[in-house]
C-alpha cells in the first residue's frame, strides 16, 4: 500500500514541476 506521505510528496513535486 502506498504511503500517503510519499504520495503527497510526489504530488507536490509534480505540482512544483508544473509551475
Rg of the chain over CA atoms, in angstroms?
9
**CA distance linking residue 17 with residue 1, whole number of Å:** 25
Residue 4, pLDDT score: 85
Residue 18, pLDDT score: 62
Q: How confident is the model over 1-19, as pLDDT tens digits?
A: 678 888 888 888 877 776 5
Using DSSP, state whether 1 is helix, strand or coil: coil
Residue 19, pLDDT score: 59
C-alpha triplet 9, 19, 3: angle, nearest 5°: 10
**CA distance linking residue 8 with residue 5, whole number of Å:** 5
**CA distance linking residue 19 with residue 15, whole number of Å:** 6
Amino acid at each position: 500500500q502506498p504511503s500517503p506521505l510519499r504520495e503527497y510528496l510526489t504530488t507536490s513535486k509534480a505540482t512544483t514541476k508544473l509551475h
